[in-house]
Amino acid sequence: MSISMAYAQANEGELYGKIIGPDGNGISDVSVIATETQNWNLTDSLGNYRLKLPTGKSEIVIRHLGYQLESYFINIGPNQSVQKNFILQIQSLSLKEVRVLARENEQSLTSTSTIGQQAIELVQATNLGDILQLLPGRPAQNPDLNTAGQAQLRETGSSSDDKIDALGTAVVIDGAPLSNDANLQVSNTATIGANGLFSTVSGGGIDLRDIPADQISRVEVIRGIPSVQYGNLTSGVIRVETMQGKAPFRGKVRLDPTTQEASLGKGIALGKSNQTLNIGFDLTHSQQDLRIPVPTYNRATANINWNSHSNNQNWRNQVNLSLLYTKDQDKGDKDAALEEKRYASDKGFRLSTKGEYKSGEKILKRLTYQASLAIRNQDSYNKQLRSGEAQPLPTSLVDGTFEVPFAPAEYYTATRIQGKPLNFYASLIQHFAVSGAKVRDRFLAGAEWRTDVNQGKGKTFDAGYLPPSSYRPRAYSDIPTLNQLSLFAENTFAFPLAGKTVQWQAGVRFDNVQPDGLFKSGFDTKWQPRTNLTYQLFPFLRLRGGYGITAKAPSLVYLYPETAYFDALSYMYYSANYPDESLALMTTHTFDSKNNHLRFMTNRKAEVGFDLTAGKWSAHATFFNEQTRNAYSFNDVAAAFRYPVYDTYFYIPGNGEKPQLDEVNVDTLTYRNAFLKPANSLNIDRKGIEFTLQAPQIQQTGTSFNLSGAWTTNTSWSDVPDILEISRNFPNNPNGYIGMYESNKTKRELFLTTLRIVQHIPVLRFVATVALQNIWIDKYESTFRGSVPVGYIDENGNTLPLTSAQAKNDFPFLIRTVDPVTYETVNRPALWNLNLKLAKEIGKNYRFSFFANNMFMHNPAYANNRTGYIEKRNPALYFGGELAFHF
């Protein structure tokens, strides 16, 4: 900023005019936005607008709900006033142009895709996850509301990394980032990590099923290096704008083999007070198999947007209230003999506000603010039948040897997890701008605060049912609050170089988790520099590149895992004839599974690309390289302790007394096992290329072609060795040593293309999209690195390291061999899939849509050379339709 201020004058011009509709009348509350500066103006009741612009060339975007988005480039001189009237067309299939696909944002400094309202409607999505299938390189999938939806921006199909990719994806709705960091709906972190015996996204990203597509007007996906305004992320940003402003009454009914959905919405102007109110509702039911009552998924949502602005348009504000109820149920068939039940419900609200104040100063341009509060009540329940022999049931929460009751041979357990996550977010950003005849400089500085806490009852067990073995109650109210303070600053500088335009963005972000002061932390701090550069080499060709560091703080499930409980049997006598004389002693030992050395998960991103525009032809390509380090996972940690073992001293069956124990001759043994502990152990390297090619529409037929795709390789490995308990039973291992082995390294390679043929017939108000997807490369390989142990656990529970030479010379019995077939490369043959989408408007008020996925039922069989199993490839045939209307 200081460089530009030294020689650039604050020169501005003004653009004014009128926005009119097809009937020639002015349209009120139309947003007129300068893309580069984000300066804005809303049309008045007659459609008039007036907008300040920097001198030179600027892109103007004109948007209004229900109308076709328009964009234009305007050249303005210093202190010049230019009049320009625009005509907005009502969004309809009768127009010459329809926008049914994702578009690469040619004004963005990094790889970004934008999906507009018309594309969202015609993709026939039920939630945000379905919309993301329009991104380049995304494999075709059938809608599935019975499985939690996790965001995957650059996908290779590596399931082990999916949760981390979703955790590192920021989902921002109307400017407020959603948070899953206080989600603690897990069964037992010490035994199964951030998972549950029910549907849960704890330890991962936002469940995309919670965001109905019918309440979304626009989606922008940043896959590259984001502005420093966006934090607490590693993968990218999904920016969602919900329905707002005045709009006709709208409704939709959707039916397919598993899902029934209905939605309604309406936007109204509140008198002449510069205020609008937009309300939307959604009801959805999904049943995985219509022949079986469960599993099912139910969703009910409401979204309310209240927008207002001052008469002079120096200030505007939006208040959003979102209500949500969902329930996953995958057990509880009333006709089944067992009384098992399993469900996960979620209900709550999110209240947010964002606003902007324009100062009117030449340098001090805009002050933006944002605040949001989200509270949810989460209830997960698992009632399960356990059968076998009568066994002791430990319940102690402290170390020691205790008498414990016997669980019957067959009994029900009922575990309930009640969470109440609360997420608060606030930010304040000051925007500065200076423009001259040839240079433009924009600078911003801001701060934000995040709070995540869970005030739920936690893990409890229903009265009348015994708890599962090794499970203990836990109160979430005892878990500390997670706070994060962030500061950031960024400069975007546009200047000429060799007669061409250069745009350079450079910024830095500072994150402080559990701050003890501005720069002191009770956990960790992270500086994150980021930069993007574009060069307009020719009028039709723009080159771009970028590099940056992004970081994601751990969620509560990683920061504060539950205590690991181990129970060793010190004595047991069970009498079926005299159950009151039965006696069991168990020694409980606890281990703190908290990792005090946990740090930020980071991603170093680098990318280069080009944007080519020649007439109505356009091509975009991005080469990217990402290195994720310190990703969160749960890893095995050795657990060992000494415990007493008693013998019977005196017992007479049937005398009404329990056995007396010999407390003199007490044996002592070592209990050895392992538990899961969070760590920064996972590493992911990802590189590849994404591309999109758009051909112009053939005017005579109304046909257009779009080719998109991606080649991606994904390599992941863990820094923490695996504990192989079965190694204690290896031959020639008399002491029962347990080997520790380096984990495997996995690599996944995927190359796919999608050719979309769009046939548009305006006179019939009809559009059809045929998507031919080809997977050219689908390769998976796993490098076996765990033949020679890198350490072992001895008979006393001590963990000892080993060099390769030591292992081979002194511990040959711990060296393991594996069938080479297990680690052969899986290289699936090329695969194609054809999907169809149709939409037909009936008059001006109705639209019928139909889709068929894998319409030719192409499901070739593949014999996996590693597993020997036969795989059925491609999603199954899936079809459905919807009827939409507006008045």
pLDDT tens figures, 287-301: 988 777 778 999 999
How close are the terminal C-alpha atoms of the chain, in Å? 50
pLDDT band at 336 (very low <50, low <70, confident <90, very high): low
Which residues lie closer than 8 Å to 24 by C-beta, 6 or more apart?
A: none
pLDDT at 364: 77
Three-state DSSP class for 806?
Answer: helix
Given a cut of 50, is residue 268 above it in pLDDT?
yes
* CA atoms lying within 13 Å on the CB side of residue 446: 24
Three-state DSSP class for 536?
Answer: strand
Given a cut of 70, is residue 883 above it in pLDDT?
yes
pLDDT tens figures, 34-51: 888 888 889 988 899 998
For 123-181, list the strands marked E by DSSP: 169-173, 176-177
Q: Is the dihedral of CA 118, 119, 123, 129 positive or negative?
A: negative
pLDDT band at 439 (very low <50, low <70, confident <90, very high): confident
Q: What are the C-alpha distances in Å from 583 to residues 141, 216, 393, 410, 411?
A: 56, 62, 12, 19, 19
Residues 333 and 329: their CA atoms lie apart, in Å, by: 10
Q: Residue 50 belongs to what H/E stretch? A: strand 48-54
What the block records as the tokens of 674 is 């392992």
pLDDT at 157: 62
pLDDT tens figures, 759-786: 999 999 999 999 999 999 999 998 888 8
**What average pLDDT does range 753-764 have in this prediction?**
96
Burial class of residue 132 in the structure, from the number of CB atoms within 10 Å of its CB (0-12 exposed, 13-18 middle, 19+ buried): buried
DSSP state of 121: H
pLDDT tens figures, 576-622: 899 999 999 999 999 999 999 999 999 999 999 999 999 899 999 99
What phi and psi, each to the nearest 5 degrees, are found at residue 280? -140, 145
pLDDT tens figures, 532-541: 999 999 999 9
3-class SS string, 633-650? EEEEEEEEEEEEEEEEEE
For 405-481, list the strands marked E by DSSP: 406-407, 410-419, 421-435, 440-454, 458-461
| Rg over CA atoms, the chain | 31
Q: Residue 218 belongs to what H/E stretch? A: strand 216-222
* Cβ–Cβ < 8 Å for 352, 174: yes
pLDDT at 331: 67
DSSP state of 698: B
Given a cut of 80, is residue 332 above it in pLDDT?
no
Given a cut of 90, is residue 386 above it in pLDDT?
no
What phi and psi, each to the nearest 5 degrees, are found at residue 822? -60, -25
The closest of 119, 356, 118, 117 to 243, measured between CA atoms, is: 117
What the block records as the tokens of 382 is 């698992």
DSSP state of 744: P
Three-state DSSP class for 358?
Answer: strand
What the block records as the tokens of 811 is 């511990």
Given a cut of 60, is residue 701 above it in pLDDT?
yes
pLDDT band at 434 (very low <50, low <70, confident <90, very high): confident
pLDDT band at 5 (very low <50, low <70, confident <90, very high): very low
**What average pLDDT does range 98-107 have in this prediction?**
90
**What average pLDDT does range 440-468 have in this prediction?**
92
What value, to the nearest 5°, has the Cα angle with vertex 112 and ends 306 and 757?
Answer: 100
Strands 861-863 and 870-872: antiparallel
Q: Is the dihedral of CA 697, 698, 699, 701 positive or negative?
A: negative
Q: What is the mean pLDDT of the chain?
A: 92
pLDDT at 159: 59
**What average pLDDT does range 232-254 have in this prediction?**
95
**What average pLDDT does range 237-259 have in this prediction?**
95
Return the exposure string of 542-564: e unless at least 16 CB atoms fall within 10 Å of the residue's CB, then b: bbbbbbbbbbbbbbbbbbbbbeb
The closest of 879, 703, 730, 749 to 813, measured between CA atoms, is: 730
The closest of 139, 93, 179 to 752, measured between CA atoms, is: 139
DSSP state of 117: H
pLDDT at 10: 47
This prediction has a pTM of 0.94
* Cβ–Cβ < 8 Å for 624, 710: no
Total Cβ atoms within 10 A of residue 777: 15
3-class SS string, 31-43? EEEECCCCCEEEC
What the block records as the tokens of 183 is 């989600």
The closest of 11, 5, 37 to 503, measured between CA atoms, is: 37
pLDDT at 160: 60
- Ranking 366-375, 493-502, 594-603 by mean pLDDT, the lowest is 493-502
Given a cut of 60, is residue 1 above it in pLDDT?
no
